[in-house]
Structure 1
């Protein structure tokens, strides 16, 4: 009986060292490929989250300008523009420490405009710029609605959001990555049609 037991155990062989090492190498390669996939997916998720924040900031800015802007004063300023000039509201001269005195004629609350044009979300600094879209205005002028031009009541604008990143000296500069910029188009409407 002992003989049968010894023969059975001798026939039950285990894995050789070479087989174990080969399986470890295969598992390491598969694990490395999966970790690269998950790192890439995490990077994409972070980029999409940042893009969503920028779109929401742009919509918030558009809503703010819609409610706070003096339509007549902005229209007067735009009508004074010469060819090649553009009406722009941005954070130049309107930092997070100084209020936006340059825009007092266009918005009723320039102090809150400072936080709109220089938002900081999740410790990320953004720059907001609102610019007039002359090309869209030309198409509005040709559209006639109930005897009047809709262009008399709407100012087409584009809100651009850019992420600011610190450079070597610690100054905030515009990021050069494509995902770090977002544009939203909209209109500043006259109170008469709201």
Structure 2
């Protein structure tokens, strides 16, 4: 009987420790990259959402202030500037129950100047209204020299570059300059701002 020789089959090789470690390292690098991508995407989305909300709030505040009685508002601004010797009047939600400017509807005032949106309370620390006499060069120079601390850098730059184009003093009786600032982040510069002019009802 013929004898057959059977050779043992060679066992297939497994992964070495170095190969396993290299694979883990590569997967970790890919995972970290993906995590950073999603983190940055979430930050960017939050950033844009904050800016959009702030701009919409500022527009609402500006529209609300434009509907107030101009004569009462102008008288209040003139008296406060004379009393405080500041080139502006600062208003926020804390004034809603103190000033007759806002009428009898205190709740409406607080909803405009202190709303809560997306579980974020935009109170008097976040929403600021500044009223400045129109076409008053002396007041304007003071404002440029010492702007309020609530002004973001972009607004300070805008004011420093702006000049009075029409020096007619009669316009002071019919117009008020207004700046609405809404801070959506933790820093002063995390703010959106709008500027406008409040006009006397007789020339609207």
TM over 0.5: yes
Q: CA deviation at 1:38?
A: 1.8
1:142 is aligned to: 166
Contiguous gaps of at least 5 residues in structure 1: 1-5, 95-99, 164-174
User: Measured at CA, do residues 44 and 52 of structure 1 come closer, stay the same or move farther in structure 2, by a change above 3 Å?
Assistant: same
1:86 is aligned to: 88
Aligned length: 167
- Aligned pairs (5 A) from 1:88-127: 88-92=90-94, 94=95, 100-107=96-103, 109-127=105-123
Cα distance per residue 1:114-149 (max 9 Å; x no partner):
1111110011001222111358653558345xxx84
Q: Do structure 1's residue 53 and structure 2's residue 50 form an aligned pair?
A: no
User: Measured at CA, do residues 137 and 61 of structure 1 come closer, stay the same or move farther in structure 2, by a change above 3 Å?
Assistant: farther
User: Measured at CA, do residues 137 and 26 of structure 1 come closer, stay the same or move farther in structure 2, by a change above 3 Å?
Assistant: farther
Please give the secondary structure, in 2, of the residue aligned with 1:28. Answer: helix
Distance across 1 between alignment mates of 2:197 and 2:104: 18
1:153 is aligned to: 174
Distance across 2 between alignment mates of 1:47 and 1:114: 25
Distance across 1 between alignment mates of 2:32 and 2:69: 58
Distance across 2 between alignment mates of 1:137 and 1:157: 14
Distance across 2 between alignment mates of 1:88 and 1:113: 15
Whose strand proportion is higher, 1 or 2? Answer: 1
Q: CA deviation at 1:54?
A: 1.0
TM-score (norm 2): 0.66
Q: Is the 8 A contact 1:141 1:150 kept in 2?
A: no
Contiguous gaps of at least 5 residues in structure 2: 1-6, 138-162
**Which structure's relative contact order is higher, taking Cα pairs within 8 Å and 6+ residues apart?**
2
Distance across 2 between alignment mates of 1:135 and 1:41: 43
RMSD: 3.3
Q: Is the 8 A contact 1:54 1:182 kept in 2?
A: yes
Please give the secondary structure, in 1, of the residue aligned with 2:43. Answer: helix
Distance across 2 between alignment mates of 1:108 and 1:65: 15
2:76 is aligned to: 77
TM-score (norm 1): 0.69
Cα distance per residue 1:25-58 (max 9 Å; x no partner):
1121122122123212211211221121011101
Distance across 2 between alignment mates of 1:179 and 1:27: 39
Q: CA deviation at 1:17?
A: 4.8
In structure 1, which of residues 182, 187, 191 is the aligned counterpart of residue 197 of structure 2? 187
Distance across 1 between alignment mates of 2:193 and 2:37: 30
